[in-house]
Structure 1
């Protein structure tokens, strides 16, 4: 029994041990096969691994391969780490690892022109060398623009320079070969560089903001046109200012949407129109600053309101018209060098973005007018302060509210707020231009411009007096405003009482007005 049991046990053990050993050897075989598969796959992947982007490689299948794996093609020797095999097992050489590659600003279809590509090369310091890149066999051209997260912006030949290492210098900014392309032009090539900010998205946002502001500007103009009581010199000046600003903002908004094609007749025509409209808005703001300065001045000259407004109109409409005519003359004649011309409609539907040109034709007039406005308001503020100090004991608070002085003073306060809104905006724009482009300053200017229409509407229309006049104009029963509202919410003066300038001196003006009216 025991022997049988032993045999049975040993028999069972033998049966059990044999399949286990067989299973183990099969596992080893499968593991070896899998390992070989992985190894060969890795070797294949390493062999076919791309050492450069496919678009920056060339087909070298017609080249000659040496024993060490080096492939020679078109006079270039590619070592094993300078070429790879694509999905079709075609060897492709990374030409940009050996030669200097430059992007050409075209899409390749139809074929890009094969003309000269002349650029200015920096040899260090202020020494430059003019080169035709096509004459140098060490350069290779990629006929497609670089991949940009933002937009591809154009540079004129005088705005950039290339360094020997392929870096493009634009002012203080530096761009490597993967961030710019060259565009064939005469006599030198233009360049397109990758802007990191999506300027087109910024332009669209700015256009939407401007178009939102427009209804408030139109509403301000319409309200003043409907109310004869508001159509004195200050009211008419405001209407002209708002009209010029509306035309300028409308066209600016359309231009930011790229409605007009560059160098088209529409682009050039509307470029001059928006230029003139913006200039007119500056001059009408200057008229309002001068008018309040004149009101509190010591001049004894007298003229009717109609004649005075005629003089203002000749100045505020005539000066921009003369400037636009001069700009058009310079832009279309040989009086000055081409680099100094306004170039409206050439690279954009406005004055050229080149710094010197932009300063001469846009920012210089703006700077002069803003400076004049600051001077007018400052002198007027000093005069008001002196008049109040001199007459503080002669006038009671109640009587002062009904004098022309108080109304003119309120008008000064209103104009001052308008100037702060517009003057500060354009001042920041000038600062942005002078110190160089700063993203947060650009956003600040755009936000201020977009809020302009709303601010003007609130200042000059959303007033208790204007509301009452509108109700009366359309035949509604006029509610009687509170006395305090009549006193504190007064807007542009609609009376033609005795002019301050007819008074002899500041000390007698207010007492004469108070006791004489």
Structure 2
């Protein structure tokens, strides 16, 4: 019992000691290691020309990581210097250069001569002033790195402007994102016009990353099952089925690259993965356009050159159109990625933050959302024309019976278009309101629908009764009774007689 009381007391004392050691009302990221400073008898410290009173000092044996977890370190004294003078957070020591996120040794004499030591600081009043990073600011250099992978802003490229505020927050101009000191740092970087202080930032972590992975994985599994079913069931190998399989394969590959990027597995071929993902997503949408065009041409008996071809030749023509269009769009995007200098209008595939498009960039509207919008408009037009034709022939009993199965298939693919069209329409709308915090949830809703497309397609196309029946018939071909057997049972039940000639004729017609 005494041992237990002693243990509890020791734990309480440890917590009291740590709480006393911390500086009251001071965030860890507003402190700096002042162990090398001069200590006075009253407990104050003189550090880098700044006198720090005793109540703004404390002994720490831990450091706080950007995700709010703690790491044990050697005991040292820290001072809450940012309450006394504006601070600037460096990634590493202020006399080091950084390259590709790595800090190097002290700058040489030539480097110091070309160094621009000033940073523009925006005050609370909105006034922009120049501050010498060493003489007028307190350099914080011993804080934990914001993240493992840092991206920097190149001031020599148009659109890479940024604002460093007096409270040490940092804002990028091209997407208006604001970072706190846990999410960025600055460091000397060598540019063509000399050495400057450049901000290095982290991509803001999303709380939805876990559900994104789960949604993508489930969606890909459902896509794979859907493709497998359509390949397995022979009765689905018609022209509709072939186009649908091509659509699903394109969508599967495009989404697979998105999952690989989410898992950071594209780091060695980031740009190639981004362009391949773009190519197959574009191909998927073009295949949907081909399907909508095919339905309109078939139901309306359009006398166009493509539909007059034999089914196998039509599928070949559809392939040529789809893959050529997808390759052309990818080629244009690749060329723009190399030629366009303005970062607001360059696709930036495989550059800095993402292997895919920066969906907040203006270029996304031209090369990605713009193409999506055109295909959505085309598909809407085709489906409206087809629906109008169906309504016209609805009163004709012969035509209605003739086109019944085609109408059912049309309705099924109309649902597919609604799923894809709605999800990407939300994405396009979210792009236009990207700067509005009120509509920020639109991005989450659009992402949720987009990443779950494979799951919704599986429910619409595989779990419907007719497809499940086709799967059963394929697995048990002898289980389904023939027309003769069914009519024999009907005759026995109703007392009606049919000649064998009629039965055989019925069997032949069904076959």
- TM (normalized to structure 2)? 0.69
In 2, the alpha carbon distance for the partners of 1:354 and 1:186 equals 28
Match of 1:9 in 2: none
- Tell me which of 182, 185, 203 is aligned to 2:186: 182
Residue 342 in 1 paired to residue 343 in 2?
no
In 2, the alpha carbon distance for the partners of 1:86 and 1:459 equals 59
Match of 1:290 in 2: 293
Match of 2:32 in 1: 57
Q: Which moved more, 1:97-106 or 1:435-444?
A: 435-444
Match of 1:402 in 2: 401
Q: Which moved more, 1:84-93 or 1:227-236?
A: 84-93
Q: Residues 21-51 of structure 1, C-alpha deviation per residue, up to 9 Å, x if partnerless?
A: xxxxxxxxxxxxxxxxxxxxxxx99997735
Match of 1:192 in 2: 201
Match of 1:20 in 2: none
In 1, the alpha carbon distance for the partners of 2:54 and 2:249 equals 70
Q: Over alpha carbons, which structure has the higher Rg?
A: 1
- Tell me which of 75, 88, 102 is aligned to 1:102: 88
The alpha-carbon distance between structure 1 residues 336 and 463, as it changes in their structure 2 partners (threshold 3 A), is same
Match of 2:336 in 1: 330
Match of 1:75 in 2: 49
In 1, the alpha carbon distance for the partners of 2:334 and 2:341 equals 12
Report the secondary structure of 1:161's partner residue: strand
Report the secondary structure of 2:171's partner residue: strand
Residue 299 in 1 paired to residue 302 in 2?
yes
Match of 2:458 in 1: 457
- Tell me which of 345, 362, 366 is aligned to 2:368: 362
Aligned length: 420
Report the secondary structure of 1:402's partner residue: helix
Match of 1:441 in 2: 442
Structure 1: segments with no counterpart, 5+ residues: 1-43, 483-517
Residue 226 in 1 paired to residue 248 in 2?
no
The alpha-carbon distance between structure 1 residues 470 and 49, as it changes in their structure 2 partners (threshold 3 A), is closer
CA contact (8 A) 2:153 2:200 kept: yes
In 2, the alpha carbon distance for the partners of 1:270 and 1:91 equals 48
1:95-134 → structure 2 map (5 Å cutoff):
95-105=81-91, 121-122=121-122, 134=133
- The alpha-carbon deviation at position 420 of structure 1 amounts to 1.0
- The alpha-carbon deviation at position 227 of structure 1 amounts to 3.6
- The alpha-carbon deviation at position 364 of structure 1 amounts to 1.4
Match of 2:430 in 1: 432
The alpha-carbon distance between structure 1 residues 338 and 83, as it changes in their structure 2 partners (threshold 3 A), is closer
- Tell me which of 368, 379, 384 is aligned to 1:378: 384
In 2, the alpha carbon distance for the partners of 1:90 and 1:451 equals 51
In 1, the alpha carbon distance for the partners of 2:28 and 2:463 equals 63
Match of 1:31 in 2: none
In 2, the alpha carbon distance for the partners of 1:355 and 1:141 equals 32
CA contact (8 A) 1:468 1:479 kept: no
Q: Which moved more, 1:273-282 or 1:284-293?
A: 284-293
More helix by share: 1
Report the secondary structure of 1:284's partner residue: helix
Structure 2: segments with no counterpart, 5+ residues: 1-16, 62-73, 97-101, 108-114, 155-159, 192-196, 484-511
In 2, the alpha carbon distance for the partners of 1:164 and 1:243 equals 52
